[in-house]
Structure 1
Amino acid sequence: MLFKNVWYAAELTLSCKPLLLRRAPNSFQYARIQCRNTFSRRRRPMSDANPLDFAHVDAGPLNSKTLLRPFLFTIGVTSASIAGCVIWEYENIRAHATSFMRKPSSWINAQQKKIVSQFKTEPGPIRKWWNSLRESEKVFYPILAANLLVFGAWRVRAFTPTMLKYFCSNPSGQAQCLPMVFSTFSHYSTLHLAANMYVLYTFMPAAVASLGKEQFVALYLSGGVISSFTSFLYKVMLNQPGLSLGASGAIMSVLSFVCVTYPDTKLSIIFLPMYTFAAGTAIKFIMGLDLAGITLGWKLFDHAAHLGGALFGIAWCYWGSLNIWGNRDKFLQYYHHIRKESK
């Protein structure tokens, strides 16, 4: 297996500094935080301005209590993602087995096909395109569509307050929990979106081949919310509120899983294809950069989210896939009992 091109996708962060203190109606002290996009290097006209450059966030004090609700939300989303995907896999297998059991004999089947072919219309171009896709691509394109939908919503100025509230994760924001998931599908920069989707598309075939599409989706969604919580934890520890958005935390879970599962796979950088290196070495180097970014306080990327996603991918490779997904039989028995009782 050879991945010819790799682009280190990054989760966008906004550096923040307190401007003034004011008293809110609930008698708590809040800090007025001005955030600026760290990718921005020059002023742009207001008509073409990135709303993240001029975002103002009312941020409350950060302490350990701030993490309680996000922590419980992370456990809930991770559990629901795994349980939902286990049920999804069960229903797919059950439907396939049922159709196989009801399959008629070869002669009857041939006669049915002749009759059906006389009345059956040709599938449309979209259906033909979808049927021609690989299993990994059938998972990738819905993820891409969700990201493009949110990307388009950023372009509607009337949606900006909602996008800043629900599609940018911030431990001190008014909405804490939902943005932990929604922000993993949120990109404002075209380059940011393209880089993340390119890396995801590159590593998805190997991940889906190893895990199956259902377990892959569980890994991706869980990795996204866990990386958001890791970012929260880092910001609370340093008392540095700020906005984060991007799918790179979830993508790092996929990337680290593939690199640990296939450590001898040869990778290369997109602009330097002549230089190759082992996947096991690549993930160590990337995680080393993120660890250095956390230690030295680099603000360009959300290194805490990257590292959290990568660690979760490695943990899933060595432990989660066997001990959580591998022991899903008891849960499926309980689900089957409920399903049977509901009929």
Structure 2
Amino acid sequence: MMAVRGLVLFRWASEDFIHTHSLRSRFRLQTQQRCGFRKRVEPKKVEEVEPKEILHKKGVAPSPDPPTPPRPTKSFGRLVKPFIFTVGFTGCSFGGAAIWQYESLKSRVQSYFNDAKADWLDKVRPQKHGDLRKQVNQWWNSLSEGQKTVTGIIAVNAFVFCCWRVPSLQHLMVKYFTSNPSSKALCWPMLLSTFSHYSLFHLSANMYVLWSFSSSIINMMGKEQFMALYLSAGVISTFVSYVSKTAMGRLGPSLGASGAIMAVLAAVCTKMPEAKLAIIFLPMYTFTAGNALKAIVALDTTGLILGWRFFDHAAHLGGALFGIWYIIYGHELIWKNREPLVKLWHDFRSRGPGGGSNGSI
């Protein structure tokens, strides 16, 4: 049985932000950030087999009984590599985000006059009517910074969803795009399964929630820090799921982005606890973001304790708790202490080709 990661449908009363609930796909799913399904098995015809005594009289050696596949056992030793991967990937995510921010600022300064020149040429050139490229550019420019950032994430999720529909890729998808503590591939699926959805409803729900909260989270921390938070939360929530499954002996695959999205929701609700939310189907009933976060955490905690298997509650909790921790402590401990790394990168870039002798941006 495979785990599905889902969310509850919410809407910002003022900005129409929505938080969504993932249902079962046609294979039965359990939720985290990920989705689970059970492979359909067609009944096989039972063939008549001659008894061993008859085969012995005919001088034919009976075929040996097929070996019984070993049942997966709980082994916390298998979680050492995933733990190292989680710590290393989280550090690399925030380090890469700091360098990305440095390069973005540098590129913005260098391209200032190029942008001014491009704007002037755009006014001088004769306008083309009905140009598809121009219409796409106009649509893209109408998006907020947050919506532009998550568009790439949504595109990757949609591409992976299409790959699930290719029969020849099924083995590859199950191996690398579902996270399972009993699988041979343990580390990279922790990240890749964050972009993997088997159910169209699960994909649509998660991506709609991410799109709805994108402007708030990007305004809070910028696109670079957001990407580091999102990717790290996906891996961390998967590791929490690994620990929970191993402890309970309920080993099975999971997939979906809900763990990472839970971190985003938790971060926004922690930073703006008095913001008004509403259930999408009942817009007249509003409540604060802080209360909504408490209810979500309580629901997933209850599901984890009682062993509910529709959602991967451990991954939900892992993502939500990481988002809360990052807003309260992590931002000060990690992001505000990135200056030494940025200085090292600046010195390295200054010594490189075209870096300039004075080392200035």
Structure 1 residue 326, shift from structure 2 partner: 1.1
2:315 corresponds, among 293, 305, 326, to 305
Counterparts of 1:98 and 1:258, CA distance in 2: 33
1:73 corresponds, among 85, 93, 106, to 85
2:147 corresponds, among 118, 137, 147, to 137
Partners of 1:227 and 1:308 within 8 A in 2: yes
Q: Which amino acid aligns with 1:198?
A: Y
Structure 1 residue 204, shift from structure 2 partner: 1.3
Residues 339 and 276 (structure 1 numbering): CA distance in 2 closer, same or farther, change over 3 Å?
A: same
The aligned runs of 1:208-247 (5 Å cut-off) are: 208-247=218-257
TM-score where L is the length of structure 2: 0.78
Structure 1 residue 113, shift from structure 2 partner: 3.0
Structure 1 residue 314, shift from structure 2 partner: 0.5
Residues 321 and 158 (structure 1 numbering): CA distance in 2 closer, same or farther, change over 3 Å?
A: same
1:117 corresponds, among 107, 113, 124, to 124
Residues 111 and 90 (structure 1 numbering): CA distance in 2 closer, same or farther, change over 3 Å?
A: closer
Report the counterpart of residue 28 of structure 2 in structure 1. Answer: 37
Aligned-partner SS, 2:250: coil
Say which one has the larger Rg.
Answer: 2
Structure 1 residue 7, shift from structure 2 partner: 3.4
Residues 59 and 177 (structure 1 numbering): CA distance in 2 closer, same or farther, change over 3 Å?
A: farther
Q: Is 1:64 aligned to residue 76 of structure 2?
A: yes
Structure 1 residue 55, shift from structure 2 partner: 7.2
Report the counterpart of residue 281 of structure 1 in structure 2. Answer: 291
Q: Is 1:54 aligned to residue 35 of structure 2?
A: no
- 5+ residue gaps, structure 1: 15-35, 40-49
1:89 corresponds, among 91, 97, 101, to 101
* 1:268-317 residue CA offsets vs partner (Å, 9 max, x unmatched): 11111111110000000000001001111110000000000000100110
- 5+ residue gaps, structure 2: 1-11, 42-68, 354-361
Structure 1 residue 90, shift from structure 2 partner: 0.6
* 1:85-138 residue CA offsets vs partner (Å, 9 max, x unmatched): 1111111111122344x689xxxx789936983499885332332222210111
Counterparts of 2:105 and 2:77, CA distance in 1: 43
Instruction: Give the superposed CA RMSD.
Output: 3.0
Q: Which amino acid aligns with 2:120?
A: K
Structure 1 residue 141, shift from structure 2 partner: 1.0
* 1:129-173 residue CA offsets vs partner (Å, 9 max, x unmatched): 222221011112111101100111111111111111111100110
Counterparts of 2:173 and 2:251, CA distance in 1: 17
Of Structure 1 and Structure 2, the greater strand share is in 1
Residues 304 and 53 (structure 1 numbering): CA distance in 2 closer, same or farther, change over 3 Å?
A: same
Indicate the structure whose relative CO is greater, using CA pairs within 8 Å and at least 6 residues apart: 2
Q: Which amino acid aligns with 1:67?
A: L
Counterparts of 1:83 and 1:65, CA distance in 2: 28
Which range is displaced more, 329-338 or 278-287?
329-338
Aligned-partner SS, 1:274: strand
Which range is displaced more, 75-84 or 1-10?
1-10
Report the counterpart of residue 199 of structure 1 in structure 2. Answer: 209
Runs (4+) of structure 1 moved beyond 4 Å?
Answer: 10-14, 55-60, 109-112, 118-123
Partners of 1:10 and 1:196 within 8 A in 2: yes
TM-score where L is the length of structure 1: 0.81
Aligned-partner SS, 2:284: strand
Counterparts of 1:13 and 1:69, CA distance in 2: 31
Partners of 1:186 and 1:245 within 8 A in 2: yes
Counterparts of 2:122 and 2:241, CA distance in 1: 59
